């Protein structure tokens, strides 16, 4: 059994506005509904636990999608706390050595091919695997006056995307260790890396964007409309 965990307890402060960004609409549905649709329509995924903010007034109350269970739990103050809460919300039938996929609620444009390749890679690599995209732009390091201090080499640099796939016991161990050490892991791989492990990088589609700004939302609308009309 392979389950997905979707942290959706963020307030989306960077986006601004009243509505948390995962509930903004694009192509007729909220971003989180697109994300859940993408994950649960994949035959390799059996169910999902969604971590919600305690005061969430927008959750549409889904309990199943594509005939698969949608469970919810209350998330935490940081993304990693929300993922830990979702881990604890898994049903009893999900064994310790099962693979789990963690996917951002604010990534609505995920393709089935990427999910399939990620699952395959995570079955081959005991340390887990993540979708990622090579950095294409030239990178500048700024000084305190927002002038260029230097150019950073981009060779071997990747942008971490989601989903990220790990075995349940490893993910739990990694997130608990980061929490105990007071380290805020901004993705699951970071927590796993801290254990001295090396998850695999799986090159994913560059249009698997995380909506963070109004410009991202416009791009998501464009991509999702394009998919709907195909
Ligand atoms: O803010 P950011 O874009 O990094 O959030 C990534 C994902 O983590 C979003 O789906 C957001 O709702 C979720 N999150 C969470 N709990 C938090 C902070 C973020 O579930 N405390």
Q: Where are the beta strands (DSSP E) in the chain?
A: 3-8, 25-26, 29-30, 47-52, 64-65, 68-74, 99-102, 129-134, 139-142, 148-152, 158-167, 200-203
Average pLDDT, the chain: 96
Task: Look up tokens 């998330």; give the residue.
Answer: 75
Enclosing domain of residue 38: 3-229
CA distance 212 to 210: 6
Rounded Cα–Cα distance for residues 97 and 36 (Å): 23
Burial class (CB in 10 A: 0-12, 13-18, 19+), 221: middle
Q: How far apart are CA 14 and CA 213, in angstroms?
A: 7
In the chain the first and final C-alpha atoms are separated, in Å, by: 31
Give the position, in ligand 1's atom list, of the atom nearest the Cα of 107. 10
Task: Dihedral sign for Cα 44, 46, 50, 51, please.
Answer: negative
State how far Cα 138 lies from the chain centre: 25
How many angstroms is it from 144 CA to the middle of ligand 1?
28
79 C-alpha to ligand 1 centroid (Å): 5
Ligand 1 interacting residues, C-beta cut-off 6 A: 7-10, 22, 51, 75-79, 82, 104-106, 210, 212
Residue 189: name the closest of 140, 121, 141, 137 by CA: 121
Residue with tokens 């993705």: 187
Interatomic CA distance for residues 221 and 71, integer angstroms: 27
Taking the centre of ligand 1 as the mean of its atom positions, its distance from the CA of residue 217, in whole angstroms, is 16
Q: Which atom of ligand 1 is closest in space to residue 78's alpha carbon? A: 21
The answer to whether residues 113 and 131 touch, using CB atoms and an 8 Å cutoff, is: no
Mean pLDDT of 125-131: 98
pLDDT at 113: 98
Burial of 21 (0-12, 13-18, 19+ CB in 10 A): buried
Pocket test for ligand 1, best of 20, 79, 160 (most atoms within 8 A of CB): 79
Ligand 1 mean position to 85 CA, how many Å?
Answer: 13
d(CA 173, CA 81) in angstroms, rounded, equals 13
At 185-230, the pLDDT tens digits run 999 999 999 999 999 999 999 999 999 999 999 999 999 999 878 7
Ligand 1 centroid to Cα of residue 113, in Å, is 24
Question: From the CA of 147, how far away is ligand 1's center (Å)?
Answer: 31
Residue whose entry in the numeric block shows the structure tokens 């989601």: 162
- The domain total for the chain is 1
Give the pLDDT confidence score for residue 17 in this predicted structure.
79
pLDDT value of residue 182? 97
Q: DSSP assignment, residue 138?
A: P
Taking CA atoms only, the protein residue closest to ligand 1 atom 11 is: 10
CATH number of the domain enclosing 216? 3.90.550.10
For residue range 8-48, list pLDDT tens digits in order. Answer: 999 876 777 789 999 999 999 999 999 999 999 999 999 99
């Amino acid at each position: 059994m392979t389950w997905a965990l979707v942290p959706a307890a963020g307030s989306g402060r960077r986006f601004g506005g009243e509505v948390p960004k995962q509930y903004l609409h694009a192509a007729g549905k909220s971003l989180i509904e697109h994300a859940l649709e993408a994950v649960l329509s994949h035959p390799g995924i059996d169910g999902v636990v969604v971590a919600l903010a305690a005061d969430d007034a927008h959750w549409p109350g889904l309990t199943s999608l594509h005939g698969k269970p949608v469970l919810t739990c209350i998330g935490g103050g940081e993304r990693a706390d929300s993922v830990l809460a979702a881990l604890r919300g898994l049903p009893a039938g999900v064994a310790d050595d099962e693979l789990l996929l963690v996917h951002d609620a604010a990534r609505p444009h995920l393709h089935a091919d990427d999910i399939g390749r990620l699952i395959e890679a995570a079955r081959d690599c005991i340390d887990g695997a993540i979708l990622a995209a090579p950095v294409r732009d030239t990178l500048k390091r700024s000084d305190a006056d927002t002038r260029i201090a230097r150019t950073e080499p981009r060779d071997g640099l990747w942008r971490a995307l989601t989903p990220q796939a790990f075995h349940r016991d490893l993910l739990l161990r990694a997130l608990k260790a980061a929490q105990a050490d007071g380290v805020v892991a901004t993705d699951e791989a970071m927590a796993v890396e801290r254990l001295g492990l090396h998850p695999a990088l799986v090159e994913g589609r560059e249009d698997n964007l995380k909506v963070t700004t109004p410009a991202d939302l416009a791009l998501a609308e464009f991509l999702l409309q394009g998919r709907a009309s195909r």
